[in-house]
Amino acid sequence: MSETKTTLILGGGVGGLVTAVKLRAALPKKHRVVLVDREPDHLFAPSLLWLMTGLRKPEQIRRPLSQLRKKGIEVVNGEIEQIDPERRRVTVAGQVLEADHIVVSLGADLDETAIPGLAEAGHSFYTLAGAQSLRDALSDFRSGRIVVLTASPAYKCPAAPYEAAMLLEYDCRKRKIRDSVELDLYTAEPGPMGVTGPEFSAGVRQMVEQKAISYHPAHPVHWVDPAARQIHFKRGVQADFDLLAYVPPHRPPRVIRESGLVGESGWVPVDRHTLQTRFAGVYAIGDITGITLSMGKPLPMAGTFAHSQAAVVAQNIAHAITGQGKAARFDGQGECFIEAGDGKAGLGRGNFYAEPTPQVKAYKVGRHWHAGKVLFEKDWLRRWF
């Protein structure tokens, strides 16, 4: 325990950021905490929904990862080219980094090419560039049909497309063009946030349909015709659009697929309480993981879980290195805000590890929850940087 130990944290999103800061605070200075990311900035992704409707600017929702150096965290910027989990070695831009512990928090890649024509036809509001291009397109939009689309049934932040539809509807009303705009929401999944249970799912659907947004579930996409502005679905129907906002299919990053970490689900299997992989000293957290719930469905990809899992892993690595404190366990608790427009939001909170099904409570839509999300955004960027 007197030897210097090195922990490599791969990814500077929610999970990686929380792991790095908490682990650094828990360890003596002689131990190294190294955060690796190909991007120079941390982006607070939940606020992309506000950016796409002009309520935020990019500089308001991102921070340089280099600021973490003042906390004693080493930051390495570069493409992760190879992960050797057995030897705990990671190659970054040609440089080999060795570690005693590795935390994989690389999230899911957005695979826009998986659906022919999708990227050329619309705007992905899951990226900074896509949210900005959607914002610009909206500024010139005066009439026609807006379609919000989920291209596949599994994606991170399950509330986001439903929030996006409601925020776009609110934006049209603010700009006094709502009477000239049709709004449709097509989803590959059979209902909103299905893992939360039928009651919660029905409540989110009601929120959407109360705003005169036409909702079309169970419509997986086959291909999109950018020239004709038409979506072709696998069930043999088509939908026209004038403006398309979409959530692209997700998949693990290439370096993860080639690392030997991926399991039968296509994602990284981990112990559901400790987040350990099958390799000693290697953990995976957040969207990259595949955790099957008792009901047979996967734990949703959501920042709330990445945050909690990061705290557990940081505590357990600190315990393993110092022998102090006690081990922690991830208990499946999670929550998320659901933006509804009009300066209002709802909240869902509960135990996703409950048996036989998750127990999630819906809190009534109101201005106080929207204010809570605004405060959370500000606190996040202040606390971790």
Nearest 5°: phi and psi at 14? -55, -55
Report which of 44, 223, 209 is spatially closest to residue 122, judged by C-alpha positions.
223
**Residue 119, SS3 per DSSP:** helix
Is 38 in a helix, a strand, or coil?
coil
| pLDDT at site 2 | 63
Please tell me the distance from the alpha carbon of residue 139 to that of residue 124, in angstroms, as a whole number.
16
Tens of pLDDT, residue by residue, the chain (385 residues): 569 999 999 999 999 999 999 999 999 999 999 999 999 999 999 999 999 999 999 999 999 999 999 999 999 999 999 999 999 999 999 999 999 999 999 999 999 999 999 999 999 999 999 999 999 999 999 999 999 999 999 999 999 999 999 999 999 999 999 999 999 999 999 999 999 989 999 999 999 999 999 999 999 999 999 999 999 999 899 999 999 999 999 999 999 999 999 999 999 999 999 999 999 999 999 999 999 999 999 999 999 999 999 999 999 999 999 999 999 999 999 999 999 999 999 999 999 999 999 999 999 999 999 999 999 999 999 999 9
Residue 308 carries which side chain, given as an amino acid letter? S
Q: Is 41 exposed, middle or buried (0-12, 13-18, 19+ CB in 10 A)?
A: middle
Q: Hey, what domains does the chain have and what are their CATH numbers?
A: 6-108+252-322 (3.50.50.60), 111-248 (3.50.50.60)
Q: CA-to-CA distance for 244 and 43, rounded, in angstroms?
A: 23
Q: Could you tell me which of 122, 132, 120, 141 has the C-alpha nearest to residue 49?
A: 132
Other beta carbons within 10 angstroms of residue 72's beta carbon come to 15
Is the separation of the CB atoms in 255 and 82 below 8 Å? Answer: yes
CA distance linking residue 366 with residue 368, whole number of Å? 5
CB distance 341 to 167 below 8 Å: yes
Exposure string for 147-165, b = 16+ CB within 10 A, e = fewer: bbbbbbebbbbbbbbbbbb
Residues contacting residue 267 through CB under 8 Å, at least 6 positions apart: 252, 288, 289, 290, 298
Residue spans of alpha helices (H) in 104-253: 118-121, 128-140, 160-174, 198-209
> Is the sign of the CA dihedral 202, 208, 211, 215 positive or negative?
negative
The Cβ-side half-sphere exposure at 297, using a 13 Å CA radius, reads: 19
Exposure string for 197-224, b = 16+ CB within 10 A, e = fewer: beebbebbbebbeebebebebebbbbeb
Q: Alpha carbon of 167 to those of 36, 126, 143, 301: distances in Å?
A: 34, 15, 17, 21
pLDDT at 235: 87
Burial class (CB in 10 A: 0-12, 13-18, 19+), 306: buried
Determine the number of helices (DSSP H) and then strands (DSSP E) in the chain: 9, 25
Summarize pLDDT for 85-136 with one digit per residue, the tens. 999 999 999 999 999 999 999 999 999 999 999 999 999 999 999 999 999 9
Tell me the per-residue pLDDT of 349-382, one tens digit each, with 9 for 90 and over. 999 999 999 999 999 999 999 999 999 999 999 9
Question: Do 292 and 265 touch, CB atoms closer than 8 A?
Answer: yes
CA gap 338, 344 in Å, rounded: 9
CA–CA separation, 385 and 369 (whole Å)? 24
